[in-house]
Amino acid sequence: MGIHVIKMPDLGEGIAEVEVVAWHVQPGDVVKEDQVLADVMTDKATVEIPSPVAGTITSLGGAIGQSLAVGAELIRLEVDGAGNLKDKGAPRAGQEPVTAAAAAAPAEEVAEPQLEAVAANEASGSASAPVSAPASRPAPVSRSAPLLRAEGDKPLAAPAVRQRAWDLGVELQFVAGSGPAGRITHADLDAHVAGHRGGAANGGPDERYAEQHGEHATQVIGLRRKIAEKMQEAKRNIPHFTYVEEVDVTELEALRLQLNARYGAERGKLTLLPLLMRAVVLALREFPMMSARYDDEHNLLTTYDAAHIGIAAQTDNGLMVPVVRHAESRDPWSSAAEIARLADAARNGKATRDELTGSTITITSLGALGGIVTTPVINRPEVAIVGVNRIVDRPVIRDGAMVARKMMNLSSSFDHRVIDGMVAAQFVQAIRGYLEFPATLFVE
């Protein structure tokens, strides 16, 4: 028997380190060749790490949420034969192998302190008292059977509860206590007051107005942490300015419905997004500096003839930006099909790194959720992002008469280091022109 050490592979594109976001194995597990061992997060995507050999896991190289450098020990296996490590089972210098219990420790450390927050605060009489994690988790106190004390027994309550009762004019003698030994808590006091104000429909205490004292801590790891880092970098490094313009999309919507009625069965239904993409592509021909990436470390602005349009998409794991490559070469139906494919891959966690990188300008839309104005954050190192707001029917004066029109706002942000305000406004006006006269989307 020998020891085989699997090191963090080089994933390319200058990646120096990755974050461990999931372990699919634990020490003692027997794995087969090509079996997935772990998921690691790069700057853009989650990558599965398979096992090159069969063997038995002896130790893991890091906890979930920990960053590992390329070339660092990822996992250690006991294998048939000599293996690739002579010193069997020896840990790396200055580092102990991480066992399954140790790998799970961070999650427990985050979750444990919040369990007794309410009880600790009630006992001390202060909602702001610090909470310490107990050595072991005590049995939960049942609140299903509040206790009423015998006549003459002094009610037990923290000073803060007594003060609240005094302020509310409530005699604690008549308040049922659900804490240890019948101690009266803030929740008991709330339930008593609510019950005497009419209570719930069944005559019980009305919990709708009960005070809440819980705290819930969640460790920010994986994609959520990458999103946070990228947003922070974008706001720290880019002087954003946002330009909002109102667009009349009445004719565009009429055209879209007509195209769907005529070609929807054979080509697929069109949403607004593919038509907006086409308008952006045509506007980029007039303003090529918008399809660009700015290297602020070297003061280098690179513009692209191609329009690689990122589409900001919300997934269960967080915000992702799949890229429709060469949008300039696609008609609206081709764009719609590619958007649907990429969105499905992103939602299912199957989008590759290539599908999530390389955009030169981004479109983001919260229109389906409402809102009339947004201030989108630029997808660094790009220099522009176009935001779509909802379409609403509004009264508009046309030829001296008030008519109902379908109106939509475009909220677009720009990097003021390289894009002047007038140029940004002209770019948005160009997009507006194509959308308000949609026949021009198909005229070269």
Closest CA to 296 of 226, 386, 233: 233
Closest CA to 238 of 277, 286, 180, 294: 294
Query: How many beta carbons lie within 10 A of that of residue 173, not counting itself?
Result: 12
Compute the distance between CA of residue 18 and CA of residue 70 in angstroms, rounded to an integer.
7
Compute the distance between CA of residue 383 and CA of residue 362 in angstroms, rounded to an integer.
9
Q: What is the torsional sign of CA 259, 260, 265, 271?
A: positive
Residue 134 DSSP class: -
4 included as an active-site residue: no
DSSP H stretches of helix in 169-214:
186-196
Q: Which of 24, 240, 326, 416 is catalytic?
A: 416
Closest CA to 330 of 441, 215, 218: 441
Query: How many beta carbons lie within 10 A of that of residue 406, not counting itself?
Result: 17
240 included as an active-site residue: no
- Structure token digits, residue 439: 């026949």
* Residue 17: φ, ψ to 5°: -150, 160
For the annotated catalytic residues, the residue numbers are: 416, 420
